[in-house]
Structure 1
Amino acid sequence: MLEQAGAQQAGHEHPEHYQQYGWNYAPPSRFERITMAAWTKPSWLAPLAILGCVGAAGTYVLSNNPTDAQLDPLGPCAFKLLTGLDCPGCGGTRMVWYLLHGDILNAVRYHVVALVAIPILAYAYVVFAANRLFKVKLPSKRIPLLAVFGYLLFWVVFAVLRNLPWAPFDWFYVS
């Protein structure tokens, strides 16, 4: 109650739906206002920034063949250097390399779990970009939280099993 009274005395208005539930409302900070303005105005900026990041990552993968024996500019995986084990993301860059070259079987071999997420993330981006750029509402479904946790659990199990050196798990070992 004191916080509400103090906020009202400071000249901050509470939206009705906050007052209705007795929640305290703090206006956004200057940093939050600048961040949200950069993300929301102009409306084409966020989709373009995401597309630029994906394009830069794809260009990096295509210009530095991760499947050859040469050392890439970013160096080897720090997790693998320290532990000798494949990290949960190991093979992801090689998976993208093979996917960009149309070799689905090798893409599956290097990181099947990440490969499963690509079509879902691509469609989510199309829905987001269509809405932001053209105000078109494409059909989309909210992914249940249980499915997200199940996927993450599957990723962890995959990360553990791929480090086991005997059959059939050695097929997932990406060395």
Structure 2
Amino acid sequence: MSGEPSQADSRSVDTASPHPADGTGVAAQTAPGGTHPPQQPATDAAYPAYQPNVEGTYPIYRPGPDGTYPSYPVYPPGYVPPQPDRLTRLVTRVHARTPRWLAPLAVFGCVSAAAGYVLWADPAAADANATPTCIVKYLTGFDCPGCGGTRAVWFMMHGDIANAARHHAVLLFATPFVAYLYLAWAGKALFGWRLPSWEPSSRSLIWFLAAWGIFSVVRNLPWEPFTWFFV
């Protein structure tokens, strides 16, 4: 009859399993003859979503009686999670109570203070024969990986890109990327801006550090054209 399901239709019902790998799907719970066994209760009433695996060593998250997963950490019965120490609790409280706008403004204030000091000190006007303040250069006579960075910043603030590259080419290259990362972060925290996100990958960071290391060696070579980088 047209109002009754055919035998082929009854065989095709409940054959799809949404979770065939772990045996929790419909097909895995279908008994011979097409009937469904009753839902097994949880192993512990206090932990409705906890069920041990075959070895009973770690929890497997199952949906509760209402079909939803818990929104809280689920631990085995009798397990007491470790409590955070005093320092962790202090940092957590400070982070929770700190306004979102404070961190971007604090970073901006520190960078502005450093830039103001560079403008006031005018490191580019130092005598070439003056005693170096870098301990590596003072003891060895070689430029360290950071030598020339302050003078490069001074030249960048005055628009002298050539001299900025001569004093620290790697810093000149990295400055626009760091500035964009700060602008995207601070703009989102302060004004809700949604700038295109960019996060440097691990490979790009490795290449950057390798280029910085090569530059630190090349700038100390005692022949042309590498002596142009010697500061």
Contact 1:39 1:45 in 2 (8 A): no
- Give the counterpart of 1:59 among 89, 113, 116: 116
How high is the TM-score relative to the length of structure 1?
Answer: 0.78
* Larger RCO (CA within 8 A; separation ≥ 6): 1
Show the counterpart of 1:48: 105
Show the counterpart of 1:31: 87
Contact 1:39 1:46 in 2 (8 A): no
Asked if 1:115 corresponds to 2:172, the answer is yes
Q: Which runs of 4+ in 1 moved over 6 A?
A: none
Aligned to 1:67, the other structure's residue is in SS state: helix
Show the counterpart of 1:85: 142
Q: Over the residues paired in the alignment, what is the CA RMSD in angstroms?
A: 2.5
Output the CA distance in 2 between the equivalents of 1:149 and 1:83.
Answer: 27
Output the CA distance in 2 between the equivalents of 1:112 and 1:51.
Answer: 24
Identity across the alignment (%): 46
Deviations 1:114-143 (A, max 9, x none): 111111111100111112222333211221
Show the counterpart of 1:4: none
Cα distance change of structure 1 residues 149 and 169 upon mapping to structure 2, 3 Å threshold: same
Show the counterpart of 1:106: 163
Greater C-alpha Rg? 2
Deviations 1:86-131 (A, max 9, x none): 0001110000000111111111111110111111111100111112
Cα distance change of structure 1 residues 139 and 35 upon mapping to structure 2, 3 Å threshold: same
The alignment covers a number of residue pairs equal to 155
2:124 partner amino acid: T
1:39: how far off?
4.7
1:144 partner amino acid: S
Cα distance change of structure 1 residues 158 and 26 upon mapping to structure 2, 3 Å threshold: farther
1:172: how far off?
0.9
Cα distance change of structure 1 residues 68 and 138 upon mapping to structure 2, 3 Å threshold: same
5+ residue gaps, structure 1, are 2-14
Aligned to 2:123, the other structure's residue is in SS state: coil
Contact 2:220 2:227 in 1 (8 A): yes
Higher relative helix content: 1
1:33: how far off?
3.5
Show the counterpart of 1:12: none
Output the CA distance in 1 between the equivalents of 2:93 and 2:222.
Answer: 51
Output the CA distance in 2 between the equivalents of 1:169 and 1:105.
Answer: 15
